[in-house]
């Protein structure tokens, strides 16, 4: 009889021991399942004792440029309610602890914990890439979901206007778009949304979080 193999985790982690970080959804950085080396700088055992403070500092958000050459993501999963999506960013500063997109950050070499909400990938050339794909004869007009693995209205969107640039392209082509967001910044683009609405080509889904049970209904 073959002996059962005993698998051991690369890093021993105890999330219950982590202190909550104000302004962040996650309080620690779990090990990346694809990486053999892992250092959690939120773990007091991993840093110099002389650097300890009374309150765990909030990690500063870092931004990384994505040099992708395509912008429309396609999927054939029967469990996903759309076939095509557009992600101007990857990672999300909203930091919802339950977000299904967190594990996707591991494909980039980051953690699904704090890294997901503090290391944001930006795609500044997304509008140009989108224009090129919509102009292609291979494109068959269909609803694009904005977005699949991030919120298209990240705080940095106020400055970069990547999502707005994509909406300008979609409005020009009158291509349908469905937006999923938690950020009121979507109201900034009401002019473009109205333009798309004239062609019945837009839907905006806003998630509202509240402790008021009546409002939740």
pLDDT in tens, 54-95: 555 667 899 999 989 999 999 888 888 889 999 999 999 999
Q: How far apart (Å, rounded) are the C-alpha atoms in residues 141 and 191?
A: 22
For the record, the structure tokens of 109 come out as 């070499």
What percentage of residues in the chain have a pLDDT greater than 90? 59
Spatial contact of 196 and 170, defined as CB atoms under 8 Å apart: yes
Q: State how many domains the chain has.
A: 1
Assess if residue 5 is contained within a domain: no
- Range of lowest pLDDT (14-18, 177-181, 208-212): 14-18
Which among 179, 187, 83 is positioned nearest to 140, based on CA atoms? 83
Give tens-digit pLDDT for 97-142.
899 999 999 999 899 989 999 999 999 999 999 999 999 999 999 9
CB 143 within 8 A of CB 196: no
Mean pLDDT, rounded, for 35-48:
53
User: Cα(212)–Cα(192) distance, rounded to whole angstroms?
Assistant: 32
What is the pLDDT at residue 9? 40
Decide: helix, strand or coil at residue 17: helix
Half-sphere exposure of 87 toward its Cβ, with a 13 Å CA cutoff?
19
Q: Report the pLDDT value the prediction gives residue 18, as an integer from 0 to 100.
A: 61
pTM of the predicted structure, to 2 decimals: 0.78
Q: Are 123 and 130 in contact (CB under 8 A)?
A: no
d(CA 86, CA 75): 12
Strand spans (E) along the chain: 62-65, 72-74, 84-86, 89-90, 119-122, 144-146, 177-181, 202-206
32 within domain boundaries: no
What value does the mean pLDDT of the chain take? 83
Q: Does the residue 51 lie in any domain? A: no
Q: Is the pLDDT of residue 174 over 80?
A: yes
14 part of a folded domain = no
User: Considering the domain boundaries, does residue 193 fall inside one?
Assistant: yes
Eight-state DSSP code of residue 118: H
Question: In Å, how far are 18, 23, 144, 175 from 74, measured between CA atoms?
Answer: 37, 33, 10, 16
Owning domain of residue 161: 62-206
Rounded Cα distance between 193 and 177, Å, is 10
Residue 22, phi then psi, degrees to nearest 5:
-60, 130
Asked whether residue 31 is domain-assigned, the answer is no
pLDDT at 38 over 80: no
Q: What SS3 class is residue 177? A: strand
Lowest mean pLDDT among 3-12, 38-47, 126-135, 205-214: 3-12
Residue 215 lies in a domain: no
What stretch of H or E contains 49? none
Confidence of residue 216 (pLDDT cuts 50, 70, 90): confident
The whole-number pLDDT of residue 24 equals: 74
Residue 48 falls within a domain, yes or no? no
Query: Three-state SS string across 10-23, please?
Result: CCCCCHHHCCCCCC
């Amino acid at each position: 009889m073959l002996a059962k193999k005993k698998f051991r985790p690369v890093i021993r982690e105890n999330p219950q021991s982590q202190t909550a970080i104000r302004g962040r959804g996650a309080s620690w950085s779990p090990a990346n399942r694809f990486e053999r080396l892992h250092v959690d700088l939120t773990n007091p055992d991993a840093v110099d004792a002389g650097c300890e403070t009374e309150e765990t500092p909030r990690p500063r958000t870092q931004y990384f440029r994505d040099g992708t050459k395509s912008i429309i993501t396609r999927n054939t999963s029967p469990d996903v309610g759309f076939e095509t999506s557009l992600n101007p960013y990857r990672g999300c500063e909203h930091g919802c602890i339950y977000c299904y997109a967190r594990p996707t950050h591991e494909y980039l070499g980051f953690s699904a914990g704090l890294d997901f909400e503090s290391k944001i990938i930006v795609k500044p050339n997304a509008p140009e890439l989108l224009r090129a794909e919509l102009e292609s004869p291979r494109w068959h007009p269909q609803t694009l979901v904005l977005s699949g693995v991030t919120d298209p209205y990240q705080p940095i969107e106020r400055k970069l206007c990547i999502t707005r640039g994509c909406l300008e392209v979609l409005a020009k082509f009158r291509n349908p778009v469905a937006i999923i967001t938690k950020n009121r910044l979507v109201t900034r683009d009401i002019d473009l949304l109205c333009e798309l609405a004239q062609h019945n080509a837009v839907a905006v889904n806003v998630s509202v979080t509240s402790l008021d049970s009546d409002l939740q209904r």
